[in-house]
Chain A
Amino acid sequence: MRGVVAIYRREIAGLFFGPLAWLLLALAFLLNGYLFVFYLKFTGGDVDTAIRSSLGESWPFWALLILLPPLLTMRMISEESRTGLLEFLLTAPVSDAAVVVGKFLAAVTFLGILWGSIFVYAFTLARLGMAPDPGVLMGGWIGALLVSGFFCAIGLFASSLTNTPVLSAFAAVLINLAIVISPLLAQMSGQRWLRNVIARVDVLDHHKNAFMLGVLDSSYVVFFVAWTGLFLFMTVRMLEARRWR
């Protein structure tokens, strides 16, 4: 896909030229740092558990994932459509898919940097003689990246639905929230069939049961890649549908 790198570089530059990305990064780093220290204290110095809590086994992680990807991706298509920049991109000699993938990779990179702060904590602790399990560390980070990718794909899809960034962010937050709380709602409903269906698409469960244990199970990787791919595919279709409206 020619042009992905060009779009990716532009999006990364666009993200870091604006204040929003820096603000989000600063706030998320602060929160993550504070929470990591809190988890360390809470677990009595169990580094691996603190890492697991930071990368998926605590509600602040999921709260950040519900909110951050929509904020990052809300402008990527809707704002560009409003300002005419999408017209510029879609008349350049690159495919619609290259435009979407370039933007998606830029958003995932941002979240990768955000979750990458865990390596700083792990390195610091290792220097102090409390080295974490590398499997848990890498598995947790890769898992966080895959889940982030999934939510970024949802954010991009929402961004392709409207020309209003705030509306697209709101829609993406609602979808993310529905995905995160659907297992809980299924549990509360008491319907077994519903629980079974939801369990098949339970993002939290898939993340916790594989990556948090330090295991890179290919079926779980495929689960996230497939869902992410589906939303990216729908985003590309939406871009195409815009042309026919």
Chain B
Amino acid sequence: MISVSHLTRRFGDLMALDDVSFEVGKAEIVGILGLNGAGKTTLMRVLAGYLPATSGSASIGGFDVLRQSIEVRKRIGYLPESVPLYREHRVVEMLQFQARLHGMSRADTKRRIGEVLDRVGLADRKRELIGNLSRGLRQRAGLAVALLPEPEVLILDEPTSGLDPLQRIEVRGLVRDLAARHTVLVSSHILPEIEATCGRVVILHRGRVAADGRPEELVRTLLHEAHVRVEAVVGADVATAVRLLKAVKGVRDVRDVGRSGIHHAFEVLCDEDLREDVGALAGARGWSLRELSWRRPTLEQIFARIALGGTEEVRREVVPIAVGAAASNDGALHVLGGDAPAPQKVVYNLNPFDMGAARDLGKPKAVEGKVPSADEQRAREARGGS
């Protein structure tokens, strides 16, 4: 239904889309995911016939978006991020205008207006001025306008942007329902939106397709780090414990994470949840368990890795935090003053299971948990002064 081949779009020196290629089948719902500035809106605009591509081609329903733009526009319902609607019009008037633009007959217009208003839940608000509607209702009105001509393809650019959580859930539900009758291309930079709505995800990064596939496929392909974490008292013979864990059917590898008190932690890498098997082994060997959990990476972590350049670790300058103290490399605390230590380098661990990208990257890991309270600080200063 949608075919994009080596699509490139430049804005001066800026490469907004760089050799983007993908196909979308009929009645498929595909999420375009990317950070702000990744090229999502540009891609949507090119497909909607608003922007021409610098090179490459795109077609919808077999029609080229540039050369047969009017034919393409007849077949799409496009909802830009800004939800452009005439604020001085009533909802029904806006829909009538859309119907006239699409050359719909009077009977069709009346029938379709009733249908789409019911579908988006605006039947009782159709006489209201669009300017008086809340953001969420305007979004629904925009969706109704896009749906009115019964398009084969729906292109929705950030349809939940600016909505409250409840409205987001409503719009997500709406978009999911649409997939039964339309091919839907929906963009967002909010990952849970896409995960919850789309059967397939295309991740754009700096104008390029960084990943394309079903979310679970992406998780499987891009990260082989699903594992059972086990913390147990295994005694002194850790090597035997590792060997036994590796012998469990389905285990790919075992990582020795290290000892914490009397417990020893392992990561048992496997594609399926093997907690029962590992638990049975622990029971059989008499290991006293403290933790047995199944951990698998999420699309969010993959997205974060791609967005941060696909690296395991990212080096960043630490900005000293004005809390009166900062930690040095050796872990000791130094009061910040005129001879405050120079900014130190900290390696951020992007291990998805170690808070990783979910952690606020603005906070240097080196000072986490080591900043003394005000009372401790005063006591420390008093001791230093005496």
A72-108 vs B: 1/0 string, CB under 8 Å?
Answer: 0000000000011111111111110000000000000
Count class of interface residues, chain A? 20 to 34
Binds A, one of B73-81, B114-122, B170-178, B361-369: B73-81
Contacts of A17 in B (CB 8 A): 88-89
In the complex, what distance in Å separates the CA atom of A84 from the CA atom of B100?
Answer: 20
- Whether, in the assembled complex, B51 has its beta carbon less than 8 Å from a beta carbon of chain A, the answer is yes
Contacts of A244 in B (CB 8 A): 52
In the complex, what distance in Å separates the CA atom of A243 from the CA atom of B54?
Answer: 11
In the complex, what distance in Å separates the CA atom of A92 from the CA atom of B89?
Answer: 18
A93 partner, pick from B52, B73, B93, B97, beta carbons under 8 A: B73
Whether B51 lies near A243 (C-beta < 8 A) is: yes
Shortest CB distance B52–A (Å) = 6
Whether A84 lies near B50 (C-beta < 8 A) is: no
Q: Which residues of B14-59 have CB atoms within 8 Å of chain A's CB atoms?
A: 45, 48-52
Q: Which residues of B73-115 have CB atoms within 8 Å of chain A's CB atoms?
A: 73-74, 76, 78, 80, 82-86, 88-89, 93, 97-98, 100-103
Whether B86 lies near A84 (C-beta < 8 A) is: no
Whether A85 lies near B100 (C-beta < 8 A) is: no
In the complex, what distance in Å separates the CA atom of A17 from the CA atom of B51?
Answer: 31
Contacts of A3 in B (CB 8 A): 100-101, 103
Contacts of A10 in B (CB 8 A): 86, 97
Contacts of A2 in B (CB 8 A): 103
In the complex, what distance in Å separates the CA atom of A90 from the CA atom of B49?
Answer: 8
In the complex, what distance in Å separates the CA atom of A3 from the CA atom of B70?
Answer: 12
Contacts of A93 in B (CB 8 A): 70, 73-74, 101-103
- Whether, in the assembled complex, A40 has its beta carbon less than 8 Å from a beta carbon of chain B, the answer is no
Whether B50 lies near A92 (C-beta < 8 A) is: no
Contacts of B84 in A (CB 8 A): 83-88
Whether B101 lies near A90 (C-beta < 8 A) is: no
Contacts of A245 in B (CB 8 A): 11
Shortest CB distance A235–B (Å) = 17
Q: Which residues of A189-245 have CB atoms within 8 Å of chain B's CB atoms?
A: 243-245
Contacts of A243 in B (CB 8 A): 50-52
Nearest A residue to B74 via CB reads: A93
Nearest A residue to B72 via CB reads: A93
Nearest A residue to B98 via CB reads: A92
In the complex, what distance in Å separates the CA atom of A7 from the CA atom of B102?
Answer: 11
Whether A6 lies near B11 (C-beta < 8 A) is: no
Shortest CB distance B87–A (Å) = 9
Q: Which residues of A1-27 have CB atoms within 8 Å of chain B's CB atoms?
A: 2-3, 5-7, 9-10, 13-14, 17-18
Contacts of B93 in A (CB 8 A): 13
Q: Which residues of A93-140 have CB atoms within 8 Å of chain B's CB atoms?
A: 93-95
Shortest CB distance A56–B (Å) = 34
Whether B101 lies near A6 (C-beta < 8 A) is: yes
Contacts of B49 in A (CB 8 A): 90-91
In the complex, what distance in Å separates the CA atom of A129 from the CA atom of B93?
Answer: 46
Contacts of B103 in A (CB 8 A): 2-3, 93
In the complex, what distance in Å separates the CA atom of A93 from the CA atom of B88?
Answer: 23
Whether B101 lies near A92 (C-beta < 8 A) is: yes
In the complex, what distance in Å separates the CA atom of A245 from the CA atom of B16?
Answer: 12
A84 partner, pick from B51, B82, B97, beta carbons under 8 A: B82
In the complex, what distance in Å separates the CA atom of A102 from the CA atom of B154?
Answer: 27
In the complex, what distance in Å separates the CA atom of A90 from the CA atom of B52?
Answer: 12
Contacts of A88 in B (CB 8 A): 78, 80, 84-85
- 26 A-B pairs within 8 Å (CB atoms) are namely A6-B97, A6-B101, A13-B89, A13-B93, A14-B88, A17-B88, A17-B89, A83-B84, A84-B80, A84-B82, A85-B84, A85-B86, A87-B45, A87-B82, A88-B78, A90-B50, A91-B49, A91-B73, A92-B101, A92-B102, A93-B70, A93-B102, A94-B70, A94-B101, A243-B50, A243-B51
- Told that A13-B93, A17-B89, A243-B52 touch, could you supply 6 new A-B pairs with CB distance under 8 A? A10-B86, A14-B88, A84-B82, A85-B84, A87-B45, A93-B101
- Name the 9 nearest CB pairs between A and B, nearest first: A6-B100, A84-B82, A84-B84, A93-B73, A88-B84, A17-B88, A92-B101, A85-B84, A91-B48
Interface set of A (CB-CB < 8 Å, partner B): 2-3, 5-7, 9-10, 13-14, 17-18, 83-95, 243-245
